[in-house]
Chain A
């Protein structure tokens, strides 16, 4: 896979293009509304959803507060169970560690379980640069890889594709990567799934090394957990000789009892299932069962910095369910690629700028990629108040990122006006008097043009409310003359 998110335009520019793509819009509307409605039904089945959500939030907060302790506990447990733990401060270090581990096996191919952490660090591209081919085995990730495309959703990376497009991708690209698509492949979902199954089967049987992420690490026993629907993960986690798992340091839960809460929250929020089809758990290595070498790469890559922000740290509670994407009206129209990151949608808009910083234009545009409607917060199974974090990040943007000088000046002068009611009232009256000159749209660049390109400006009334009130008040109280000059 050669494409990356590097060099993409900031969100408003990317979205201006994607919102005009009728096919993308139709694919996304259909898919997000289907999952959204199913999720609502799956969640409504549980009477104690609110309590589960609160528990999920509290367990994650407690774990994050004592993260140093749980990390060391997990390291000790994994090591005691025959695994090797590596610590990676950033993407480059994690990629280096994984590439060296693969090299040491003498292999030049790995099979991959779907993993957001490895998307985040660009592992496939880093391995390719070392002559190692990474095969994605999750169906949607496979589609993205075969199409030389980018993922556009956390759970359903190929959500922007419909089945006709998928058939074309399989027909056009499977042969380059391995077993070709069957002759006469149609867009029938069962046929497409069978084609993928046959294509992937030879990779599973051949692979000596697998790379995964993990949904959770249970600190008390050093047990890793992967939940999935397709069974490709189970293949990768059990067949190869060497397993390398790259996991963000925020993925810890203290105990198995804590895990129980998340195994209820995650599937219902994510795929709208009561329970996901495959839950794989492993603790180090087991003689003559599964991989004989296990490496855990614990990834920081901006997480410690995120943890330092008292408001923003709640983003680290995220369990990557993608419920927020599926209800987000902005994501639904703009699509995932517009977010310029493997983490799209509302959670991406608060996670990406915290993990990568606000220095570049794309990342500084993300906190504004929301109307603050709050639908994301409502569905989040760990109660991340995404609008609150967005606003907090906007504050950091206007302080740190360049390009906000004019806006700040405008805000300052508006602030002065709004703190001087007499001048403010006079300004309202002046605007009312000039209403005859008011155009329906404005040609000059800036906010007024951004408004009036698609919308008429509101028609100014002759007088503001406060003039009517003053006149009425005067009448009621028998006053005359007050403020007459202004009328």
Chain B
């Protein structure tokens, strides 16, 4: 099976280790991975801040860059939700404004092929044990768009539970938003920070070594708070845990 990796701009620029982990993991499971170089950003920050028209060329680019792949796999619940939920809306609005039907067609064609990483593993490949080894205590924060828009449910938890050596500790108040929210983090920094501090307090209360998530943007916010407070919990994308094996520890993974 050949899939396109839709890495997202945040991961490309700031979290290349997550991208490498996705490639390692998928190849280990026998999937051919392609990274179309024309990809940049899905337009989520623009769209969610009120710049719908500025999002349109990015949606067109996405549809063009990922044309022809059976699956477009992304390690971000919120970027997957952007394509699946909001691209069809962009198309519908364009149609309603009589600015053409091509955007709508492109969006509707791309949306159903776009899948988040844990969905792809569990639903498409049908695996929960991906052969990973990670001898650490982990707590999992389900980011809102994966949880509520994609309905990822317990897929990430099933994947983590199957990792050898990993001890999963339930995160209190797991379903509450971490306070990132894209430009919300800078437009409402006080509330965003208050929400984030409550989230890391809950994470610290578990005593886990790792705060795992499936969206690096949320982990960037939580990680920034943790580093500022000099707290010992390490934020880590789920792909990096699932890619780790006894023989091949991803270089970013925990110090031995």
Q: Interface code B18-32, partner A: CB below 8 Å = 1, 0 otherwise? A: 011001000000000
Main secondary structure of the interface of B (DSSP, over half): helix
Question: A290: shortest Cβ distance to chain B, in Å?
Answer: 46
Contact of A411 (CB < 8 Å), options: B15, B51, B190, B195: B51
Residue on A with the closest CB to B22? A465
Judge whether A464 is part of the interface by a CB distance below 8 angstroms. yes
Q: Could you say which interface size class chain B belongs to?
A: 35 or more
Judge whether B57 is part of the interface by a CB distance below 8 angstroms. yes
Residue on B with the closest CB to A414? B46
Q: Do the beta carbons of A418 and B13 come within 8 Å of each other?
A: no
Judge whether A5 is part of the interface by a CB distance below 8 angstroms. no
Judge whether B11 is part of the interface by a CB distance below 8 angstroms. yes
Judge whether A83 is part of the interface by a CB distance below 8 angstroms. no
User: Which of chain B's residues have a CB closer than 8 A to the CB of A12?
Assistant: 187-191
Judge whether B126 is part of the interface by a CB distance below 8 angstroms. no
Judge whether A177 is part of the interface by a CB distance below 8 angstroms. no
User: Which of chain B's residues have a CB closer than 8 A to the CB of A428?
Assistant: 12-13
Which residues of A from 425 to 459 have beta carbons under 8 Å from B?
425, 428, 431, 440, 447-448, 450-458
Binds B, one of A85-93, A242-250, A328-336: A328-336
Judge whether A16 is part of the interface by a CB distance below 8 angstroms. yes
Q: Interface code A442-483, partner B: CB below 8 Å = 1, 0 otherwise? A: 000001101111111110110111111110010000000000
User: Which of chain B's residues have a CB closer than 8 A to the CB of A370?
Assistant: 181, 184
Judge whether A302 is part of the interface by a CB distance below 8 angstroms. no
User: Which of chain A's residues have a CB closer than 8 A to the CB of B182?
Assistant: 371-372
Contacts A451-B189, A460-B14, A469-B35 given; indicate if A419 touches B177 (C-beta within 8 A): no
Question: A414: shortest Cβ distance to chain B, in Å?
Answer: 8
Q: Do the beta carbons of A458 and B223 come within 8 Å of each other?
A: yes
User: Which of chain B's residues have a CB closer than 8 A to the CB of A375?
Assistant: 144, 148, 175-177
Residue on A with the closest CB to B217? A458
User: Which of chain B's residues have a CB closer than 8 A to the CB of A451?
Assistant: 185-186, 189, 224
Judge whether B61 is part of the interface by a CB distance below 8 angstroms. yes
Q: Interface code A229-256, partner B: CB below 8 Å = 1, 0 otherwise? A: 0000000000000000000000000000
Main secondary structure of the interface of A (DSSP, over half): helix
Q: How many residues of A contact B (CB 8 A)?
A: 69
Which residues of A from 369 to 391 have beta carbons under 8 Å from B?
369-375, 377-378, 388, 391
Contact of A455 (CB < 8 Å), options: B43, B175, B188, B225: B225
User: Which of chain A's residues have a CB closer than 8 A to the CB of B198?
Assistant: 333
Q: Do the beta carbons of A424 and B40 come within 8 Å of each other?
A: yes
Q: Do the beta carbons of A456 and B228 come within 8 Å of each other?
A: yes
Contacts A15-B190, A378-B148, A460-B14 given; indicate if A421 touches B39 (C-beta within 8 A): yes
Of A395, A450, A455, A461, chain B has the most CB atoms within 10 Å of the CB of: A455
User: Which of chain A's residues have a CB closer than 8 A to the CB of B141?
Assistant: none
| CB-defined A-B contacts under 8 Å, sample of 29 | A12-B189, A16-B189, A19-B191, A329-B195, A333-B194, A333-B195, A367-B50, A368-B187, A371-B144, A371-B184, A372-B48, A372-B182, A374-B144, A374-B149, A411-B46, A411-B51, A418-B58, A421-B38, A451-B224, A455-B193, A455-B221, A455-B227, A456-B224, A456-B228, A461-B15, A465-B15, A466-B37, A467-B16, A468-B16
Query: Residues on A close to B: CB < 8 A?
Result: 11-12, 15-16, 19-20, 25, 310, 329-330, 333-334, 367-375, 377-378, 388, 391, 393-399, 407-408, 411-412, 414-415, 417-419, 421, 424-425, 428, 431, 440, 447-448, 450-458, 460-461, 463-470, 473
Closest 6 CB pairs of A and B: A371-B181, A455-B224, A394-B50, A373-B177, A465-B19, A465-B16
